[in-house]
Amino acid sequence: MCGLTMCIFGKKAKRREKHRRMAAPTAPQEKPKSHVLVLIMLECDGAAFNNFIAQLPNEGASYNQRYEQPGIDLRGFKTALEAQYARDLRESQVGRDAGVLGVAYFGGVLLNPPPLELPSGLKPRRQTQTGRNVGLGDLWHLEAVDASPSHSAGRGVNVYVMDSGINENHAVMYVFVLNDSLRQEFQSRDFPESFVARDDKGNTHELKDSNGHGTAVASLIGGNNVGVAKGVNIIPVKQLLPDNTLGLPTATKSSPMSVFESLQWVLWHVVKTEKQGKAVLNVSHGSDTSCATNIGTRPSWTDSIPDPTEEEQALSDPWKHFLKVLNQQDIVVVTSAGHDGVNTEDAAGTQSPRRLACPGAVGEKTLIVVGGSQRSVGDCGTVEFWPQSNSFGIVDVLAPGRDITVARHNYDGVWRKDDDTSLSAAITSGIIAQYLGEFDLHALEPGGVACIVKREIGQVGVSGVQITHEGRSYPLLRTLQDEA
């Protein structure tokens, strides 16, 4: 009996020992490494670019993405790097050999992070586009700038609309063309040459405009009925991509990659099509407070690193590296002043490319900044300053910005009224395109077209009269004449 008991106890003891071995705690796992996502911007040829990439640590290889176009030496490379390594890269021998211009930092990441469970059941808040549905009605903006009614105005000029995409099926995008019998007929505009930037994960998107901003802007530049220069080639460049962070279906955002890749493509396309002096880049991104649409572009991408220097902030901006080259290729860049109702510029904090028009900045003599005007409250036949427009010293000209009829993006034949200096910039781009279509400034002064246009814009006025607002005088936009 005792032997049997000992045998049973012995078996139990062995089972307990086996269980202890199985339940023994595992060795502590290595903590995931913390890195930052970066866009490295370089000026180099293809061989140097490949050699540079080969020398980078490959821990963040799953995030790698190349940004390059044939014949363009401004190149970009997205990856994940340890923060201090990335900050030292430009001054390192590797960075100097490769021609690193700057680095954008746009988010921390964990390499091989633990799985993350996301909450479910959240319904996105419904959001509708601002502006009321209207008929065509009063197109006062065309009369205010003396826009040509001709459907050939601006013919031969490319206007790149760097925005949220376009509704290519809207009636505003139809144009008059010559058919086989040499008679004009109304046909839908084709957009075979357009560009959609990839998002920060490398995903591609469609050209369709889910926000409405890009469609409105394009309609004023060269659209039928409401457009200023109806003969231009509208080339959509979609760099404001869908942002589902807040569950808002119309929200958009930009990233250093979408800005860099879009500017790179525009530069390549102008060179490829030999449109130097016949190209306008419209960048209707002026306001710092457009939370509903999230239209702005950021002044710098350095939030992911502690205490960034002024130099790091400046060099993280793709615009800084591209604007000079765009000007050299005689691409006229137009941007909006914004509609925050302020008159003191904060170049370091603004979200708009307009900061590069500040004194001493790279676009001081070339980047055109447009403020807004409106019909006079007491006399609809006169034009006055729109109080909601920003009134910085860098504003070159005022163009209609209030109570403007534009195409509505989500209905093919519907119009709406809107207020925005983005619309002022679009109207200005159309007037400039008409001017470039009539005069060959590139032959007159290669590399100096943007300077000429900015100078002419600053001199033109309606009947020689300028608007004075808070002690500053601004010319009103009018069709340009050959005074270069």
Kindly list the catalytic residues.
163, 213, 422
By three-state DSSP, how is residue 158 classified? strand
Nearest CA to 327 out of 381, 358, 302, 363 is that of: 363
Specify whether the CB–CB gap between 163 and 434 falls below 8 A.
Answer: no
By three-state DSSP, how is residue 4 classified? helix
The pairing of beta strand 279-283 with beta strand 195-196: unpaired
What is the rounded CA–CA span in Å between residue 1 and residue 4?
Answer: 5
Specify whether the CB–CB gap between 475 and 397 falls below 8 A.
Answer: yes
Q: What tokens were used for 338?
A: 């914004």
Q: b vs e for 254-263, b when ≥16 Cβ sit within 10 Å of the residue's Cβ?
A: bbbbbbbbbb
Beta-ladder partners of 385: 373
What is the rounded CA–CA span in Å between residue 74 and residue 102?
Answer: 11
Compute φ and ψ for 67, nearest 5 degrees. -130, 105
Instruction: Collect all residues with Cβ–Cβ distance below 8 Å to 457 and sequence separation of at least 6.
Output: 368, 396, 397, 428, 432, 475, 477, 480
Instruction: Collect all residues with Cβ–Cβ distance below 8 Å to 161 and sequence separation of at least 6.
Output: 214, 217, 218, 221, 234, 235, 236, 237, 282
What is the rounded CA–CA span in Å between residue 217 and residue 335?
Answer: 12
Instruction: Collect all residues with Cβ–Cβ distance below 8 Å to 393 and sequence separation of at least 6.
Output: 345, 472
